[in-house]
Amino acid sequence: MQGNIRSYLVNSSVVKASRSFVCIRLLTYENKEEYEYMEGILRVRAGTLPNTVFCVLAPDGKTKLTRSGRGPFFAFANATVMASSMGLMAAKYPTANQNALSDPQLPLVHKVDVALNTAACDNRPLVVTVAADRDQLAKVDSSLLKLAWSEEFAGQFVYGSTTERKDLKPLVGAGDSSAILIVEPGTYGVSGKVMGQLDAGASADEIQQALAKALREFTPQVKSHNAHIQTGYNLGIEWETVVPESDAQSVRAKAAFKARQAKP
């Protein structure tokens, strides 16, 4: 995500305004249905979706409240304007403010491996819930709900969830009986180290303390964008997308980069 997009989204007034919104951040090439939805939002030709998308929508998920584009700069001159505009938009929906931070579900990323990579990109710890079946998983997830949507923890963690123990393979230190894992993602988000873990019967206090401890102990990595890519390439770490990447500029840059690296 480009730095100028991030500068809008980390602005404290935008973050405050975001509490009256449902904030959805999709992973552009990781799900075909979501890809097609975004093509519709941007109104681009099929198979040409750029790698970043932005829009503010009504609760129906269809009606646009702003122009759509590659980033918030398509709709707002700066982050301050964005925050005040979001306040005005939310005011038109009477339940928007009263329903802030009270969601009945965790803000999950589709799959654990994608959640791990997302956590590495965000430089945030990851919480993974795991259980043998959907019913038990729903119980584990519900034990986290109030904390996940509290002012203390909202936005501080990335969440993943699974009923398959094999999905935990990249997470070093995951115990056989753990239901909640708190993970420090590796630099490239292809592995992670368990910082804390709890059984399904953990109390709200125990979960709160484990999350707070993880936040205290988590040290965001300092990443140099270019060095990260060069080293990742040298190490042979490559991310395979579900949908072929279709951002023409990015595809060209990737081909040029690989051609440069291939030269003796």
Partner 1 sequence: MKKRTLLVISLLLAAGTLVHAEENPIPRIAWYGNLADGLAEAKRSGRPILLVSGAPACLGVPGVW
Shorter beta-carbon distance to partner 1: residue 163 or 175: 163
In which region does residue 223 sit, left (phi positive, over 0), alpha (psi from -120 to 50) or beta (all else)? Answer: beta
CB of 184 to partner 1, least distance (A): 12
Q: Do 93 and 22 form a contact (C-beta atoms < 8 A)?
A: no
Contact string 102-141 vs partner 1 (x = CB under 8 A): xxxx-xxxx---xx-xx-xx--x-----------------
Q: 182 and 195 in contact (C-beta within 8 Å)?
A: yes
Are 68 and 41 in contact by the 8 Å Cβ rule? The answer is: yes
| Choice between 43 and 92, CB closer to partner 1 | 92
Q: Does 86 bind partner 1 (CB under 8 A)?
A: yes
Give the count of beta carbons closer than 10 Å to the beta carbon of residue 17: 20
| 28 touching partner 1, by CB under 8 A | yes
The residues, any chain, with a CB within 8 Å of residue 181's CB and separated by 6 or more, are 127, 128, 129, 130, 168, 171, 174, 194, 196, 197
**162 three-class SS:** strand
Q: Tell me if 43 contacts partner 1 by CB under 8 A.
A: no
Q: What count of other Cβ atoms lies within 10 Å of the Cβ of residue 23?
A: 10
Work out how close the CB of 60 gets to partner 1 at its nearest, in angstroms, rounded to a whole number: 7
Query: Binding to partner 1 by residue 208, rule CB under 8 A?
Result: no
132 Cβ contact partners less than 8 Å away, ≥ 6 residues apart = 163
Please identify which residue in 130, 144, 158, 198 interacts with partner 1, judged by CB under 8 A: 158
Q: Does the footprint of partner 1 cover residue 39 (CB under 8 A)?
A: no
Q: How are beta strands 158-162 and 126-130 bridged, if at all?
A: parallel
Nearest distance from C-beta of residue 196 to partner 1, angstroms = 15
Site string for partner 1, 230-249 (x = CB under 8 A): --xx---xxx-x---x-x--
Among 175, 223, 244, 248, binds partner 1 (CB under 8 A): 223
103 or 199: whose CB is closer to partner 1?
A: 103
Q: Given the complex with partner 1, which of 20 and 143 has the nearer CB atom?
A: 20
Residue (58 or 132) nearer to partner 1, CB: 58
The yes or no reply on residue 145 touching partner 1 (CB under 8 A) is no
Applying CB under 8 A, which of residues 20, 85, 162, 197 lies at the interface with partner 1? 20
Total residues at the site for partner 1 (CB under 8 A)? 104
Residue 72: exposed, middle, or buried by beta-carbon count in 10 A (0-12, 13-18, 19+)? buried
